[in-house]
Amino acid sequence: MHLVEEQSRIDNKITRLIELGFPELEQAYDDPTCSTALAVLRLAPTAQAVARKRVTMLADANRGPGHRAVGATKAAQIQALAKDTIAPPELAPQIGFEMELLIAQHDLFERQIAQAEERVAGLLDGDLARRLQTIPGVGPAICATFIAEIGDIHRFSDFDQLVAYAGVHPAEESSGQKGGPETSWHMAKTGNAYLRAALYRMSVVGLQHNPTIAVHYARKRGQGKSKMNALGHCMKKSLAIVWGVWRGDHDFQPEPPIS
């Protein structure tokens, strides 16, 4: 989980660079640090560089065994956004240089996380570990974190107690403005930092691979919440999924679509 925390810090830096060098990319990707978005940035780390690439080259980014390519439709959208960017061209060389360094660090952590998960997988045993790993986005390391940090889930008499323990409930900003914009509050960080890191990674992966999380994120965005705010709600939703699978003694089951 230390590796996950370090990678999330790198991803936050990448996001800030995107806001300077290609802010329109967030119109194409809710998570601009997802695997396909990073594949585009490896080829062309700024809007100006993307605008110069062939659409076919952008479309083939991230293509490979077990990976989803960008695709022609998304590639055309990304290039159109790049050609109409508001990013200042004079910053492109420096942003491109820093972006390449940060993505290299992200990739290093990705490889190390995979190695750590492979090792942890050999240490996990029992039906609980198997059931938790049926949840999309829960690999061996995240599973081990849940088991180690939560312990006996039955010591929490209700879900709200577990939410408070993890620290994934909203807390008022120092301004104390109620009824104001969504940016007037933030997620409480008084709980278990390891659980929050695990829930963050579970939620980020879930945006692409867990339909329950993806629908919940879209619903919160539709309510006008910011991307990070909506992701915070997904962390709480992820914890609810863990609660249901663990307490219910069953494998993960996607929520039925809302009619």
pLDDT of residue 154: 93
- First-residue to last-residue Cα distance in the chain: 38
What is the Cα–Cα distance from 13 to 25, expressed in whole angstroms? 15
- Say what the pLDDT of residue 258 is: 61
Burial class (CB in 10 A: 0-12, 13-18, 19+), 5: middle
Q: In the prediction, which pLDDT does 188 show? A: 56
| Residues of the chain falling short of pLDDT 50 | 172-185
Q: For the segment 31-46, what is each residue's pLDDT rounded down to a tens digit?
A: 889 889 999 999 999 9
Pick the CATH number of 2-114 from 1.10.10, 1.10.287, 1.20.1070, 1.10.3470: 1.10.287
Among candidates 98, 110, 90, which has minimal Cα distance to 17?
98
What is the pLDDT, as a whole number, of residue 64?
A: 77
Residue 256: predicted pLDDT: 74
Q: What is the pLDDT of residue 141?
A: 87
Q: Where are the domains of the chain?
A: 2-114, 124-248
pLDDT for 174: 43
